[in-house]
Structure 1
Amino acid sequence: MSENKIRNEIHVFINGAEHRISGEKAFLPLAQYLRYHSSLPGTKVVCAEGDCGACTVLSAKLENNTWSEFQAINSCIAPMYLFDMGSLVTVEGLSEQENLSEVQNKMREFHGGQCGYCTPGMVCSLSSLAEKSACSGKAITEKKARNFLTGNLCRCTGYEPILAAATNLDLSKWKSLSDKYLTDSQKNQFRPLASDSLMIEAGAKKFTAPANFQVATEQKSKSPQTRLVAGATDLGVLHNKGKAFMDDVMSLHKITDTNEIKMTADGVWVGARVTLTALENFLEDKLPELSRLLRIFASPQIKNQATLVGNVMNGSPIGDSIPALLALDAEVHLQSTKGLRKVALPKFYKAYKVFDVTADEIATGILIPVPGPEWKSKFFKVSLRKDLDISAVTFAALLKVDGNTISDARIAMGGVGPTVVRLSEIESAMKGQAFSEDTFARMGEKVRTLIKPISDLRATDEYRLKVAENLFKKCHIELQQEMTACP
């Protein structure tokens, strides 16, 4: 890493004040740094898993000399080092010269305040909604308020007062957080730091953020045990619970190409650092069924940090995005000092947590082909709650229908074995069959003989078998309705 300037501290603004953080403090979860080293105890920690939302704060980042918008994130699972060249706003930073913000006033006026643990995070989530709505000029509906609050679980006072506070916000009174905290002065302070690499060490802990892929692959080749971390929405939980530790990690957030999402001749290119929120918005008119699935992937706080590549490389057998990506024939791009390697996702998963990736390779992104209009798609997630829950079973179907005949099929499922699987036997059996209720019912019966789900805390094996069968019927019903409704 000698070719680049190497910093051993991160630079971040918190409520407008610059912080330079190095050593052990850089490895703390953001919430702990705020509470114990910044005298900002308004941010609470309850679950330490990114589930309850009590730790919600607002985050913006400087990328390509442009500030992103402020978004709500969970501060309990995100390590401090991920916020280099960023700007953070906590509940203490929302007020204006000791006057409450419009969100805080409305929560008070409509009696939406919870206990002292959950109110600050809820106020931050609603502030994210107010900031976005004021910028777009769009009114706040109850549905939009519910969506922005899905990551804040506590409802001590009931839903109605909170929703009333949200829908009665006077956006003309909202003081823009971007205008207040994302200034040219801050940008000028950060600009000389943009090309720096980062290396922070504290005892046995080591964090690096290379400035380009060449440096990153060279470092990974020398230290294959180093783990890649993106949003830390999964690794952060494991770290907090003592099941896996982020003591030797690398982030790609200094490499601007990793934030790129674009349409190419071969499909949608999704860089390694593209968040699920950004992807959901980008795919709305390109792969609308995948965009719809991402809406219920997780809470806004999680999706604003989590990445598609992180979900794929984590390789959970219940990973929400993976069945859809398998059915779409997506491919993951892996870079090492030996060059670029492309692996079709259906061949990537070998066994439980065993992937076609070598220790010295770095995932740079994923290419998602966009099927033509002759293909019909349905992606399902089944969980105990609609929002903010881990899946029991996931399902993806991509079908080419000619007239009333299925000429081609791609089917994938998760939660039914040690890995997400492409069901090649089902695909072969569906080809040439009528697009009918009977065909899908028979395929549902057949799938029960091919999958081997287990019983765990989320569902029994028999439940998963029945759900898998029923999802084929659901797929036919919804596609039939859509095809009938088409002019």
Structure 2
Amino acid sequence: MIDFYLNGQRQQCRDVPPDTSVLELLRVHLGRTGTKEGCASGDCGACTVAIGTPDHSGELAYHTANACIMPAHQIDGCHLVTVEGLARGDALHPVQASMVDCHGSQCGFCTPGIVMSLFTLHESQRRAPAPLTPQRLEAALGGNLCRCTGYRPIRDAALCMSDYPDTHPTWADDPQLPADVAALAHDATRKNSAPNEATGFFARPRDLAELRDLRRRLPKARLVAGATDLWLESTQQLKSLDALIDLSRVAELQHIDETEDGWWIGAGVTYRRLEPLLEDAYPAFSHLMHRFASQQIRNRATMGGNVANASPIGDTPPVLLALDATLRLDGPNGERELPIGEFFLDYKKTALKDGEFLSAIFVPRPTADRQLKVWKISKRREDDISAVLAAFAWRLEDGVMRDVHLAFGGMAGIPKRAGATEAVLEGQAPSQALFATARATLRGEFDPLDDVRGSREYRLVTATNLLERLRLTLDTDNNNPAMEVCLDAYAH
């Protein structure tokens, strides 16, 4: 059973199949059709809903999610808000009123998702007012596509929504709602399902001990955390996902443990929770998050899932390779640690043994003399998959390059370091001649594929150009050697 609140009203949905999405639950099981399906892959944002969970103060904090790729069973114990739940009778919510007055809707199909993204922005402004900078607006709306408006009217609506009276929904009048949701969330974490392999299941272990036991008994069951990639097997490939183990409530996977040497990041920690840590420790890594999918995805996607998925075009693995991250693997036989460079074996094949899972990722603490650059090349600036991603780490010692790590995504069947090219640069002073040799070596080190995101030659040229870009940032003849060489708002 899925027990949750929908627009302030408690819902109890029984006999819901494991691979049901929140979108299907709303439209098919509950008859709430305001939320639309556009792409069914988490790209367009038409299905955006708001998920409310109690924060440390006891208030409900809302974040956006793509209903089309969110497992319905994961809203158990939450408050789900949809576009039907915003107006107060005939009085529109400020977001809706501003969208009407600014002509922010034309065909209207994408409008419910845009309204919900603006609703969460309005809620964050209500709780903690702050300037609506272009960066904040892009972050809030970067996951919502609109073919009609050109976005200017939507931006105008966002900028003036605070000018309207705070006509909040009726359910927001209920002072007991946050406590009711908190109680429901507490009950949800105490549930322990008894999976039946014959009938299908959505198992929700509460700790590592339960997870190890499930992996021992049900080694073929699929693991699901944010579901931002796994659920595409259902929506795009029409595969049945009838045996699932949900990692979102395994307590140990939600921790960020700081040590003297760095941080152990639980595999269930979302990118949204990671943003403050990365911004402080690795600004280049943090800046990548501006181009890592959309806010709806970052609210749910996990670094552990991005690594364990082992996609050659995942954005995180090349950065972790450049940083010499370590993985903690766990399973029925206990835990072990493995350098991330030994984890990726072949396309979608990893060093995980039967029943094992990724439990945590160690990111070392940065040192003052070690530099990191991360550059992503994609067709769209936001919410797009990389054609090539380069992550370069190094330090300069007495004018020569040391500890050179050059990692790439999109250049092989796995995320991969360019070992031969690193050897060319290691211990050498950066120069045009040296980097010319390095670029030639790089071309011979990779044999990328041709696909819709780029041809083999395009990827080779792009990768070597990024290596040249690194040389230009190291150019000691430049009056400002730390300056950026590409005039792009997102180039850092």
Question: What range describes the TM-score normalised by the shorter chain of this pair?
Answer: over 0.9
Deviation at 1:171, TM superposition (A): 6.3
Q: Does 1:279 align with 2:284?
A: no
Closer, same or farther: CA 200–164 of 1 in aligned 2, 3 Å = farther
CA distance in 2 between partners of 1:207 and 1:69 (Å): 26
Q: Does 1:295 align with 2:290?
A: yes
The 5 A counterparts of 1:53-132 are 53-62=45-54, 69-132=61-124
Q: Does the residue aligned with 1:92 lie in a helix, a strand or coil? A: helix
CA distance in 2 between partners of 1:399 and 1:232 (Å): 34
Match of 2:490 in 1: none
Deviation at 1:14, TM superposition (A): 1.2
Q: Aligned residues, how many?
A: 478
Name which of structure 1's ranges 394-403 and 178-187 shifts more when overlaid on structure 2: 178-187
CA distance in 1 between partners of 2:137 and 2:28 (Å): 31
The 5 A counterparts of 1:373-392 are 373-392=368-387
Closer, same or farther: CA 175–203 of 1 in aligned 2, 3 Å = farther
Contact 1:272 1:365 in 2 (8 A): yes
Name which of structure 1's ranges 48-57 and 201-210 shifts more when overlaid on structure 2: 201-210
1:219-247 Cα shifts (integer Å, max 9, x gaps): 10111101110011111112112264321
1:165-212 Cα shifts (integer Å, max 9, x gaps): 111121684467896685113323443443222346696422101122
Counterpart pick for 1:194 among 185, 189, 192: 189
CA distance in 1 between partners of 2:187 and 2:78 (Å): 14
Contact 1:142 1:167 in 2 (8 A): no
Counterpart pick for 2:6 among 9, 14, 29: 14
Contact 2:377 2:387 in 1 (8 A): yes
Q: Does 1:351 align with 2:346?
A: yes
Match of 1:3 in 2: none
Deviation at 1:218, TM superposition (A): 1.1
Deviation at 1:437, TM superposition (A): 4.2
Closer, same or farther: CA 332–27 of 1 in aligned 2, 3 Å = same
Identity of counterpart residues, as a percentage?
Answer: 34
Deviation at 1:93, TM superposition (A): 1.2
Contact 2:59 2:178 in 1 (8 A): no
Q: Does the residue aligned with 1:183 lie in a helix, a strand or coil? A: helix
Q: Does 1:49 align with 2:41?
A: yes
Match of 2:126 in 1: 134
The 5 A counterparts of 1:228-377 are 228-242=223-237, 244-377=239-372
Q: Does the residue aligned with 1:282 lie in a helix, a strand or coil? A: helix
Match of 2:423 in 1: 428
Closer, same or farther: CA 352–193 of 1 in aligned 2, 3 Å = closer
Closer, same or farther: CA 403–69 of 1 in aligned 2, 3 Å = farther
Match of 2:393 in 1: 398
CA distance in 1 between partners of 2:267 and 2:449 (Å): 32
Q: Does the residue aligned with 1:470 lie in a helix, a strand or coil? A: helix
Name which of structure 1's ranges 104-113 and 171-180 shifts more when overlaid on structure 2: 171-180
Deviation at 1:62, TM superposition (A): 4.9
Q: Does the residue aligned with 1:95 lie in a helix, a strand or coil? A: coil
CA distance in 1 between partners of 2:146 and 2:22 (Å): 21
Q: Which amino acid aligns with 1:302?
A: I
Q: Does the residue aligned with 1:70 lie in a helix, a strand or coil? A: strand
Deviation at 1:67, TM superposition (A): 6.2
Match of 2:221 in 1: 226
Contact 1:260 1:270 in 2 (8 A): yes
Q: Which amino acid aligns with 2:91?
A: N
Q: Does the residue aligned with 2:84 lie in a helix, a strand or coil? A: helix
Name which of structure 1's ranges 161-170 and 461-470 shifts more when overlaid on structure 2: 161-170
Q: Which amino acid aligns with 1:332?
A: L
Match of 1:5 in 2: none
Contact 2:78 2:181 in 1 (8 A): no
Q: Which amino acid aligns with 1:410?
A: H
Q: Does the residue aligned with 1:364 lie in a helix, a strand or coil? A: strand
Deviation at 1:35, TM superposition (A): 1.2
CA distance in 2 between partners of 1:65 and 1:138 (Å): 20
Closer, same or farther: CA 485–52 of 1 in aligned 2, 3 Å = closer
Q: Does 1:34 align with 2:26?
A: yes
Closer, same or farther: CA 34–65 of 1 in aligned 2, 3 Å = farther
Deviation at 1:31, TM superposition (A): 0.6
Closer, same or farther: CA 17–202 of 1 in aligned 2, 3 Å = farther
Q: Which amino acid aligns with 1:93?
A: G
Match of 1:451 in 2: 446
RMSD over aligned Cα atoms: 2.3
Contact 1:130 1:174 in 2 (8 A): no
Contact 2:54 2:178 in 1 (8 A): no
TM-score scaled by length of structure 2: 0.91
Closer, same or farther: CA 452–100 of 1 in aligned 2, 3 Å = same
CA distance in 2 between partners of 1:121 and 1:57 (Å): 7
Deviation at 1:41, TM superposition (A): 0.8
Closer, same or farther: CA 478–38 of 1 in aligned 2, 3 Å = farther
Q: Which amino acid aligns with 1:134?
A: R
Deviation at 1:462, TM superposition (A): 0.4
CA distance in 2 between partners of 1:199 and 1:135 (Å): 40
Q: Does the residue aligned with 1:401 lie in a helix, a strand or coil? A: strand
Name which of structure 1's ranges 74-83 and 95-104 shifts more when overlaid on structure 2: 95-104
Deviation at 1:403, TM superposition (A): 3.7
Name which of structure 1's ranges 332-341 and 320-329 shifts more when overlaid on structure 2: 332-341
CA distance in 1 between partners of 2:187 and 2:73 (Å): 18
Contact 1:64 1:256 in 2 (8 A): no
Q: Which runs of 5+ in 1 are unaligned?
A: 1-8
CA distance in 1 between partners of 2:424 and 2:37 (Å): 51
Q: Does the residue aligned with 2:231 lie in a helix, a strand or coil? A: helix
Q: Does the residue aligned with 1:337 lie in a helix, a strand or coil? A: coil
Q: Which runs of 5+ in 2 are unaligned?
A: 485-492
CA distance in 1 between partners of 2:173 and 2:328 (Å): 40
Q: Does the residue aligned with 1:143 lie in a helix, a strand or coil? A: helix
CA distance in 2 between partners of 1:156 and 1:279 (Å): 34
CA distance in 2 between partners of 1:180 and 1:235 (Å): 38
Contact 2:63 2:120 in 1 (8 A): yes
CA distance in 2 between partners of 1:198 and 1:483 (Å): 58
Q: Does the residue aligned with 1:140 lie in a helix, a strand or coil? A: coil
